[in-house]
Amino acid sequence: MKRMRQIFIRGLFSLLPIAATIYLIQIMFSFMDDIIGRHIESLFGISIPGIGIFITIILIMITGTLVSNVVGERLFHHGEKLLHKIPIVPKVYFGIKQIINAFTLEGKNIFNKVVLVEYPRKGTYVVGFLTGESGGEIQQKTEAKLMNVFIPTTPNPTSGMLVLVPSEEVTYLDMSVEEGLKLIVSAGVVVPEELGGSYQS
């Protein structure tokens, strides 16, 4: 029974992300189908089942086309500024956007490697992202060769702090930048396996 329970729990948690994704897509399609379908029926007196799916795809393509050019991108950012003036909405919208950006890796090129450093004291470790070697005045006034490591916060990896760590105190991990971000966003729930590429929870 214990083994059966473990199998059931693993199966349940494996299916939950798929079920949640399907559920959200169904809500979006149903919402559009209800709004557009009702207006079409009132104007033309006909009902078109599934029109919401078609309209949603068109809407996504139009949005993608608009934000792919300079003018459309500026309009989109202007719309986001207007959202800041609406109570509650900014926290929900921008919170979801930050998480999505983390998983889609916007700006992933700024991170070179996932590393482990002892911070904020010896014996305590944090996962960070190597952004390069220190240089200029900082390196000139320091004997040790310093590495720039960005330490993100959980569950919002778009904020964090920069720490300068001696190169010999930086432990390089095999996991990819994407795996490291998922580890941080999930607060350690989604843990890459030893060589990366797959997950255990």
Amino acid at 11: G
Whether 130 contacts 118, CB under 8 Å: no
How far apart are alpha carbons 179 and 188 in whole angstroms?
A: 11
pLDDT, averaged in runs of 10, over the chain (201 residues): 77 74 78 76 73 78 78 78 77 69 55 88 90 84 88 81 91 88 83 53 39
Global pTM reads: 0.47
Side by side, the strands of the sheet bearing 125-133 are 160-166, 146-152, 125-133, 113-118, 171-172
How far apart are alpha carbons 75 and 73 in whole angstroms?
A: 5
The pLDDT tens digits for 150-164 are 998 887 777 789 999
Whether 123 contacts 143, CB under 8 Å: no
